Amino acid sequence: MNFKRCVGTIVRLVLSSFVPARIYDKLDSEYARHGRVRHTIGEYGYTDRKTGVTVHTNTLEGYNSIFKRGMKGIYQHCKEKHLHRYVAEFEFRYSNRSALGVEGKERVTMALTGIKGKRLMYETVGR
């Protein structure tokens, strides 16, 4: 699957699971920190007066940018059935990046702990 088809697959999956914005009203009570920005009125970030927390979409946009660059630059092809694996890999990379104090050796050690006791097998060619 080429990159444009892969992005199309991702967009289709996101849109098929899209929930109307009203659902976000319930998130305030379920999550300790949840805010909303209203792009339709030109709002792209603000500081909550009650909590002093800055609310913006930069984190999501940053993750999305890393994911798109990785999919285009590293993996030129992806199938829908494996898409969750690609997303999980980039979530791991984003959550364990240098900006958060996780450096290369530590990141590799964390990644390798996930394979302990598992066996990766490839089918023999021609079977």
How do residues 22-69 score in pLDDT, each as one tens digit? Answer: 655 665 565 666 677 888 888 888 888 888 888 887 777 788 888 888
3: tokens are 């990159």
Contact between 35 and 44 (Cβ < 8 Å): no
Query: What's the length of the chain?
Result: 127
For 49, which DSSP code?
T
pLDDT reading at 116 higher than 70: yes
Residue 38 tokens, joined = 């209203």
- pTM given for the model: 0.55
Q: How much is the pLDDT for 106?
A: 92
Sign of the CA dihedral with 18 first, then 19, 22, and 24 last: negative
